[in-house]
Amino acid sequence: MRFLIDPLLRCLAGAFVSTIMAVISVGAAEPESADLRYFRELVETRNYSLGQPVSPKLTPDGKAVIFLRGGARDPVLRLYEFTIADAKLREILTPEKLLQGAEEKLTTEERSRRERERQSLRGFTSFQLSKDGRRILVALSSKLYVITRADSHVTELPGRSWIDPHFSPDGRDVAAVTGGELHVIDLETQADVALTSGATETVQHGVAEFVAQEEMGRHEGFWWSPDSQSIAYQETDNSGVESRFIADPLHPETPPAKYFYPRAGTNNAKVRLGIVARSGGATRWVEWDREKYPYLARVVWKEAAAPLCVLAQNRAQQEEILFAVDEASGATRELLREKDAAWLNLDHKPMPVWLKDGREFLWTTERNGAWQIELHSADGALDRAITPRDFYFEEFIDLNETERSIVAAGGPDPRERHLFRFALDKPGEGRRLTSERGRHDAVFGEAKEQFLHHFDLLDGTAGWEVLRASDGVKIGALPSLAERPSSLPKVELTRTDGVRAMDAAIVRPRDFAKGKHYPVILDVYAGPGHKQVLAQPDRYMIDQWMADRGYIVVAIDGRGTPGHGREWERVIRGNLIDVALADQIAGLHALAKHEPAMDLKRVGVVGWSFGGYFSAMATLRKPDIFRCGVAGAPVVTWENYDTHYTERFLGLPSENTEGYRASSVLTYAADLRQPLLLIHGLTDDNVYVQHSMQLSDALFNAGKTFNFLPLLGTHMVSDPLLRLRRQTRIVEFFDGVLKPR
């Protein structure tokens, strides 16, 4: 505890504005101005997303849609059924009915999983629909419930503290994890059988390890066989992983929570995959060179005629092998291998996708310089590329085996997202299924006659509708309670001129006056895997709120961000800041030529997570450009961030000492010349508050004056009041520097 307390006291002493009470104490009687009411509306509606259907699924017969939904300002999700033919909506079950006045309670494990999934809603946050569509599985307060669709009858399953429940494909059982062990519950007899044993504080079965959940996009730790007779499960051994402890600052009487966190260059969890019968018995362990390929990146086991498949990466993430597994023996054979001199990205849709006859599978790759979907034969040999290289492929959506076609999301403009259909046997440009400017998504079911279309358009319309697959005609719309925004952001999507064109957005005040000069706020991320500039209005609503305070707010996606091919993204290998910093500055100058009202003598920068890291670096390294910066939850020293993310871009600390030094905020702490505001959640278990403590300590020792705002929360900030107070504090900070009286 001494490590946490002493730096905190020192940073509080060194900061001229630093108080926890800024978050805790709220003036209840303080009247709100119009702009504060606008922001409160934004956060209470979650940018007008509350009340929209969540996670809709078509029933197997294609006649109905099951989905979750809260209220317009109510984040508690309830379960609904929508019948397509007559457009009738039926409430199936509510959390209130199950809780009967009690509060929802989450285990530490469930809270951690939700943090990894960035899930901030409550109630039924997910559900499972049985393969035959007759039953629905939900979890609430770590208990499991099975609902019969026909009559909404609810059965509570035995036990508690369950996480990650899944129906067996035949619908007879539910598998879930409790106490670090994998269990199967027979739905007919309610018998609960533990399939694994030997769990300890450091060994768990059926649960994905931290880096899989946080960085690989893999939240599952077990997988049913297609015939429901076996389960493949992960064993995680954290005995060699460093421990970290997080205390609740409001409850010092509570012992700190312990987390296993692999820092860059330190030991990862040891992971292996086993196969066990649904009735229990001995485990057959899957065999591959786990020393050379320690990361279990993907597990796919969906088609009866196709093998269990495992994608394993080496630690450098420059080589990966797709294995087919012999279920009986655990032996593996290589299907294909990918290599990249920089790093290999993981497709967030688990690949491969097998055709039902097991003779072919789909695969995604950046091997040719851009993401493409390929068709491979069962032995792994490449048959053909399905999507052209010049098509910006963003996500695989669906396979239609009858028509021998796929639906994919992407398009010519990475700021937008459209749906396209491609033929498996006639590679070509594809047929575009959507046209309105914005972001589109789709959900297909077993019946391919219709599909669910999600749209979030630049004109402010958003929602879910049911479309006929043959011609795209609308045949229904999922009911929404979401509020419509009273006005849309005044955003211009553009591309910068100069050496390279970069996606950019400019948000002007609603009362923008030509001939006037405005201070500029750069709303930044600038890191791998995330785009700031999207054709999606709700992305800019908070930017508009800041702009209406008398600013021009801009966003720029430079090199290192996705959407422009392999070379564009991988140029940052070995150094996380120099290219990003150069591109953001070049983008600012290019935008100022396009919009002369931008006053580049008054520029502030704000970001969160990697964006917070960039903001701190920009303020320290380029004080002639950035007059001030707000760094939210910044990664300060990459040696103290996790292995899978950090080493993907920087390699091992022992092999890239200079890259880690150049990418560390501490390297430049003594150079602070401009005002800096640090914000960090004290219980953040992704970017630990250690990072801001290190920077605060270094700045204090260097005799620098800075601001520090500790928050009582984690990496996510979802509470409406907390978001309001945080954003108000940020814009007041900018006002004090960029608009001096």
Per-residue pLDDT of 223-259, as tens digits, reads 999 999 999 999 999 999 999 999 999 999 999 999 9
Task: Give per-residue burial for 592-605: e unless 16+ CB within 10 Å, then b.
Answer: beebebbbeebbbb
Angle between helix axes 578-594 and 610-621 (nearest 10 degrees) is 80
Is residue 342 included in any domain, yes or no? no
- pTM (2 decimals)? 0.93
- Looking at every residue in the chain, the average pLDDT score rounds to 93
In a domain, 13, yes or no: yes
The average pLDDT across 117-141 equals 92
| Residue 454 included in any domain | no
In a domain, 555, yes or no: yes
User: Is the pLDDT at 24 greater than 60, yes or no?
Assistant: no
Q: Which residues contact 608 (CB under 8 A, 6 or more apart)?
A: 632, 633
pLDDT digits over 71-103, tens only? 999 999 999 999 999 999 999 999 999 999 888
pLDDT at 671 over 60: yes
Buried residues in 668-682 as b, exposed as e (16+ CB within 10 A)? bbeebebbbbbbbbb
Q: Cα–Cα distance between 572 and 650 in angstroms, integer?
A: 9
CA–CA distances in Å: residue 693 to residues 430, 512, 673, 706, 708:
52, 40, 19, 13, 10
Instruction: Report if residue 380 sits inside a domain.
Output: no
Weakest mean pLDDT among 19-28, 297-306, 447-456, 549-558: 19-28
Q: Which CATH number do you get for residue 559?
A: 3.40.50.1820
Mean pLDDT of 512-520: 96
Examine residue 514 and state whether it is found in any structural domain, yes or no: yes
91 domain-assigned: no
| Alpha-carbon gap, residue 36 to 38, rounded angstroms | 5
pLDDT one-digit tens code per residue, 258-312: 999 999 999 999 999 999 999 999 999 999 999 999 999 999 999 999 999 999 9
Burial of 194 (0-12, 13-18, 19+ CB in 10 A): middle
Residue 18 has a pLDDT of 35
Separation of alpha carbons 599 and 602, rounded Å: 6
Q: Provide the CA 678 distance to its chain's centre, in angstroms.
A: 23
Q: Is residue 70 part of a domain?
A: no
Q: Could you tell me if 590 and 581 are in contact, meaning their C-beta atoms sit under 8 angstroms apart? A: no
Would you place residue 519 in the very low, low, confident or very high pLDDT band (cuts 50, 70, 90)? Answer: very high
The total domain count for the chain is 1
**Partners of 26 in the β-ladder:** none
Mean pLDDT, rounded, for 338-345? 98
Q: Is the dihedral of CA 393, 48, 44, 614 positive or negative?
A: positive
What is the domain extent for residue 629?
2-45+485-738
